[in-house]
Chains A and B, each alone.
Chain A
Amino acid sequence: DSGVTQTPKHLITATGQRVTLRCSPRSGDLSVYWYQQSLDQGLQFLIQYYNGEERAKGNILERFSAQQFPDLHSELNLSSLELGDSALYFCASSVRPGQLNEKLFFGSGTQLSVL
C-alpha cells in the first residue's frame, strides 16, 4: 500500500459528460501529480500541484482541470468527455517538488471508460 488513495477505482460514463477524480496523497506529502495512461502510451504527465499551487503542467487538455485543496487532497476534473479520454488516471505524491530523485508514490489509479 503506497498510502495514496484514489477514488473511484472505476468510472463508466458517456461522451459529453463531466467527471471528477479524487486523490488523497500520503500523509505528509505536499506535492501531487496526475498522470494519464492510455493504451500503449505510457504514463503521460498532466499536471502537478504543490501545497495548493500549480507547479508544473504537461500535456493536459483544456477540457481538463485540477486543483489541490487546503487539506492537500486533489481533484482532476474532466469535461466534455470523448471516447479517447478513456484511460487509467494515476495520482502520485511526494514530499516536495523539484526533488524527483525522490521517488513518487502512486495510487492504484482510476479506470475511466467513456462510452
Chain B
Amino acid sequence: DQQVKQNSPSLSVQEGRISILNCDYTNSMFDYFLWYKKYPAEGPTFLISISSIKDKNEDGRFTVFLNKSAKHLSLHIVPSQPGDSAVYFCAASETDKLIFGTGTRLQVFP
C-alpha cells in the first residue's frame, strides 16, 4: 500500500520555465513533508520541507505547497535550470519513519 504517491514518473520542462512536481498521500497523520533530489550514482539530498500546519514554504527558486484537505503537495521550481535535472522524491514523516514516493524524473532542456 503506497502511502505517498508520485503519479508522474517523468517531466520534461524547458529552461527558464516553471517545473511543477506533484505528490499525493493517504495518511492524514503525516506531520511533515519533505522533498529530496537525487542525481545518478549519488544518494538523495534534502531540498525543502513543510510542516503540516503550513500551506507554503519557499526557499529561493523552490516552493512547496501543501493542500491538506486534498492530501496533496507540490514542488514548484522557478525558473528551471538544466542543473535541476534529477529525480525528485516526495517524502512524508510519521513518527520515526520517513515514507518516500516513487520519484519523478525531471529533465530541463535548453
Contact = CB atoms under 8 A, between A and B. Distances in A.
Interface of A: 2, 4, 33, 35, 40-45, 48, 55-56, 58, 90, 92, 97-98, 100-101, 103-109
Q: Which of B4, B44, B95, B102 has the most CB of A within 10 A?
A: B44
Contact of B97 (A4, A58, A90, A106): A58
A7 B101 CA distance: 25
Given A90-B44, A106-B45, A101 B93 contact: yes
A105 B49 CA distance: 14
Interface of B: 2, 4, 6, 9, 32, 34, 36, 41-46, 49, 51, 89, 91, 93, 95-103
B96 A56 contact: yes
A55 B95 CA distance: 10
A101 B96 CA distance: 11
A35 B100 CA distance: 10
Given A92-B43, A108-B41, A100 B100 contact: no
A2 B45 contact: yes
A94 to B, nearest CB: 9
A98 B49 CA distance: 15
B30 to A, nearest CB: 10
B34 to A, nearest CB: 7
A41 B103 CA distance: 9
Q: Which 7 residue pairs are nearest across A and B when measured between Cβ atoms? A: A106-B43, A103-B46, A100-B93, A42-B102, A43-B100, A56-B96, A101-B32
A109 B97 CA distance: 19
Contacts of B6: 42
B57 to A, nearest CB: 11
Nearest to A9: B41
Contacts of A56: 95-97
B51 A101 contact: yes
A73 to B, nearest CB: 17
